[in-house]
Structure 1
Amino acid sequence: MIGIELPTLNTNDSSYTLVEWLVPDGNSIEGEEPLAVVETSKASEEIESTGSGILHVLVGGGQECRPGQTIAYLFESAQERDSYRASAATPATASEPPGAELRITNAARELADRHGLSEAELRGLGRTVVRTADIETLVRRAAPEPASGERQLSKRQRTVGAVVTESMRTVPAAAAYAKVDVGQAEELARQLSERTGSFVSLPVLLIKAVARRHAAHPLMFAALTDDGAVRESERAHVGVTMDAGRGLYTPVVHDAAELSGDRIADLLTGFRSKAFRGTFQAAELAGANIMVAPHTTEGMLLATPIVFPGQTCVISVGAVDDQVLLDAQGTPRTHRFVHLGLVYDHRMVNGRDAMALLKDVKEELEAPAALG
C-alpha cells in the first residue's frame, strides 16, 4: 500500500480544495500519471501518482485538504484494496458519484451562497466542476452592489493582502531610483519583434538585463534565512508582477540570463493569457529570487512596490516619458526616458549595493546590444 500525500503547493495557504479526481476511484494506475486537480488561492495544480496500483480515494472532489494529508492509497491488487476496505474502522470518504452533472468546490459554494447565486446560474457556466474563480466571474457580472457598498474580497486578493502585510511587517525596505534613456532599447525591441515574430517589449529587455547582472550582484538575488544567514542562488529566476483584472500573479522566468529576448517575450505572452484566465500551474509561480514590476500605464512615471518575503529586492519600471534636450550643438532632440525603481531589504544590502545594480541595469538598457 502506497500513500499519496498532498505536497505543499505554496506557502500562503494552510488548506487547498481538491477540485476533482482525474482517475475514478478503484481504477488501475500505471506508473506516474496525473491523478487529481487541487486548487490553491493562486493556481490549479495536477497531483501525480507516486507509483502503480489500484486507486483508493480518501478525500472526495470538492473537499478541503491540507499539505501533508494522505488523500489516497495505491494498492497492489483489487483484493488488497477490498481487504483494507473491509477492515477499516471508518469508511473512506467517497468521491462524487459518477455521472454527477455539476460539482461545486466548498469554497465556491460558500462564495456562491454569500452572493445569492442560484443553481441555475451556476449550471449556466457550462462546467462540470465550478471553482472559486468561476463564482468570482459571475459576481463581477452581477447587478449593482448592495446599498451598504460593501463587498467581499476574493480569496486571491486576501492572499495578496497577506503577503503585503507580511512584507510590511518583516522587511525594512529602502528605495533608489534611476532615469534611463531607452531609445536604443526600444529600437532593439522593435527589430527583435520584426525578426522573430514575438512581442518583445521594454519589460522583456529589463528582465534580461537584470538576470545578466546576477553574478555581479549575488546579494540582490539572495534570501535571508531564519537564523540570519544569507542563502545565495546559483541562477537568476526573475518573477514578473502581472494583473489582468483577475488578481495579482507573479509568474517566474526561470534561468532568465540563459534565454533569448524573443523566448522571454513568448513566456510573458503566455503568462498574460494565463493571468487573464486564471489558469497558472503552481510551478509557474514558484522559485523567483528577484522581482520585476512593470508599471507602464501611460503617465505613470514612478512606482515603489513591496519586496516579496523571501527575496531581497524588486525593480519597477514606469511608462516612457518623452523629453526634449539640447545636443552638443544646441539642437533640440527628443529622448525617451523611463524611471527604474529599486526597493530592497536593508537588512541584506545597503544603498551602495542598490545603486550599483541600478547603474549596471541602466547601462545594459542604454547600450542594449547584448540583450537580443
Structure 2
Amino acid sequence: MNPIRVPKLNNNDVRYVLVEWLAAEGGHVRPGDPVAVLETSKATEEISADGDGILHRIRAAGDECEVGEVIGRLFASDGEHHRHVAVGLAGPSEQSDPAASGPGEVVVTERARALARERGISWERLAGLGKRVVRAVDVARLSADSAVGPRAPSTPVAGPDHAGDPRTPVGPSPQEAVARVVAESHRTIPTAFTVMRMSVGRSVVHARTASRSARALIGLPDLFIQAIARLRTEFPAFYTAPDGVADQRADAVHVGVTVDVGTGLFVPVVRDADRLDLGEIATVLTDHRLTAMRRGFRASQLTGSSITLTLHNEPNVVLAQPIVLPGTACALSLPAVRRECALTAAGGVQEVEVVDVGIAYDHRVINGRDAILFLDALRRAIESPA
C-alpha cells in the first residue's frame, strides 16, 4: 500500500487546494500517471503517481491539504482495496469520494473565488455554470463572455453555506502569498543592499537592432537577463541555494523575473537562461506575461529560480530594493531608464541614459565587496552589449 502525499510545490504556501482527481476511485494507476490537480495561491499543478496500484481517494475535491499529507493510497490489488474499504481501515480522518456529495454542491477553488470577487461575479452565476469544480479559467471566461469589468461585488463569493454573509472571507489571494514570502525573507535572511549606476544607451540601441534580427520585441530586461545569466562562472556564489551553512552550486541559471500585469505579482522562471539567445529570452518573457494575464501558471513555472530580477520600469522609478526570495542568495532590481547630463572626456556636456541597478543579497553567502564586483561586471556587459 503506497501513500500519495502532497508534494512541496513552492515556498509561498504550506497548504494547497485539491482541485480535482484525474484518476477514478478504484482505477488502476501506473507510475507517472497524473492522479490529481493541486492549486497553490498562484498556480495549478498536476501530481503523478510514484507507484503502481489501485487508487483509493482519501481527500475530496475542494479540500485544503497540507504539504506531506496523505490524500490517497495505492493498493496492490482490487481485493486488497475492497478489504480496506470494507473494514474501514481508513480511520475517521479519511473522507469520502467527492462524487458521493449531494447534487448541487459546487467546489470553487481559491483562485477562482478571488477572481470572481475582483470581477464582481456572484456565487449564483458560478453555480449556474453547471460545473462540479469551478476554476479560475472558468471565471475568466465567464467574465469575458459577459463583458464584466473589475468592480466590487455586491455579494461575496464564499459558497452556498456562506452566501450573503459579508463577514465571510473569500479565501487567500495571491497577495497573501506575497506577504508570506516577504515576511519569511525578512525573518530568515540577513539582507544587505548595494546600488550601481549604469549607462544603458548602447544597450537600448543594441536591443532595437536585435529586435529586427530576431523578429521579436527585445528590451532592456532581456539584455539584463542574458548578462546576469552569463556571470555565473565568474560569480558562482550569487547563484546558490543556501541551506544552512552549506551551499549547493547551481548547475544551470534559472532567472526568476517579476511579472505584474494587474492580476497579481508572479515570479515565473526563465529556465537555462545562460543557454538562450536574446530572441528566445524575449519569447519566454512574452509567454510569461500572457500567462500572467490568464493567471494560468503551473507551479513548475514559478519554482527553481537560482537568481531573481525584479522589474520596476514604470516611468520615474529611480531606485527599488528587491526581496531576496527564500532559497536564493540575491535579487537584482531594474528601475526605469532616465536621461541626465554628463561630462564628456573633453569637458563638454552630453545627454546619457542611465539606470540605478540594485542588488539585495544574503550576507551569509555574499560580502559587500563581492556584490560591488558583481555589479561592476554586469555594468561592463550592459555598457558594451556587442
The equivalent of 2:255 in structure 1 is 238
Within 5 Å, which residues of 2 pair with 1:110-121?
A: 118-121=122-125
Deviation at 1:10, TM superposition (A): 2.1
Query: Deviation string for 1:76-128 (max 9, x for gaps)?
Result: 44333222222224575212359967631475799799999753132356754
Deviation at 1:355, TM superposition (A): 0.9
Query: Deviation string for 1:134-160 (max 9, x for gaps)?
Result: 7898995334899x9xx9884321121
Q: Which of the numbers 348, 357, 368 marks the counterpart of 2:374?
A: 357
Deviation at 1:217, TM superposition (A): 1.1
The equivalent of 1:208 in structure 2 is 226
The equivalent of 2:71 in structure 1 is 71
Return the TM-score normalized by structure 2. Answer: 0.82
Q: Which of the numbers 158, 164, 167 marks the counterpart of 2:176?
A: 158
Deviation at 1:333, TM superposition (A): 4.3
Aligned counterparts of 2:19 and 2:107: Cα–Cα separation in 1? 8
Deviation at 1:287, TM superposition (A): 1.4
Deviation at 1:324, TM superposition (A): 4.3
1:45 aligns with 2:45: yes
Task: State the percentage of identical aligned residues.
Answer: 38
Are the equivalent residues in 2 in contact too, given 1:63–1:105 (CA < 8 A)? Answer: no
Are the equivalent residues in 1 in contact too, given 2:12–2:178 (CA < 8 A)? Answer: no
Q: Which sections of structure 2, spanning at least 5 residues, go unmatched? A: 157-165
The equivalent of 2:133 in structure 1 is 129
1:26 aligns with 2:26: yes
Deviation at 1:359, TM superposition (A): 0.5
Within 5 Å, which residues of 2 pair with 1:1-372?
A: 1-89=1-89, 90=91, 93-97=96-100, 103-105=106-108, 107=110, 118-123=122-127, 128-131=132-135, 140-143=150-153, 154-226=172-244, 228-325=245-342, 327=344, 333-369=350-386
User: Number of matched residues?
Assistant: 365
Change (3 A) 1:113 1:32: closer
Are the equivalent residues in 1 in contact too, given 2:114–2:173 (CA < 8 A)? Answer: no
Aligned counterparts of 1:35 and 1:238: Cα–Cα separation in 2? 30
Which segment is superposed worse, 119-128 or 343-352? 119-128
CA RMSD of superposed structures (Å): 3.4
Aligned counterparts of 2:205 and 2:344: Cα–Cα separation in 1? 20
Structure 2 residue identity aligned to 1:367: S
Aligned counterparts of 1:242 and 1:33: Cα–Cα separation in 2? 32
Aligned counterparts of 2:115 and 2:382: Cα–Cα separation in 1? 48
Aligned counterparts of 1:245 and 1:154: Cα–Cα separation in 2? 17
Are the equivalent residues in 1 in contact too, given 2:322–2:331 (CA < 8 A)? Answer: yes
Aligned counterparts of 1:267 and 1:127: Cα–Cα separation in 2? 33
Deviation at 1:361, TM superposition (A): 0.5
Change (3 A) 1:153 1:77: closer
Which segment is superposed worse, 55-64 or 82-91? 82-91
Aligned counterparts of 1:344 and 1:53: Cα–Cα separation in 2? 47
Return the TM-score normalized by structure 1. Answer: 0.85
Structure 2 residue identity aligned to 1:142: A
Which segment is superposed worse, 292-301 or 78-87? 78-87
Deviation at 1:295, TM superposition (A): 0.6
Q: Which sections of structure 1, spanning at least 5 residues, go unmatched? A: none
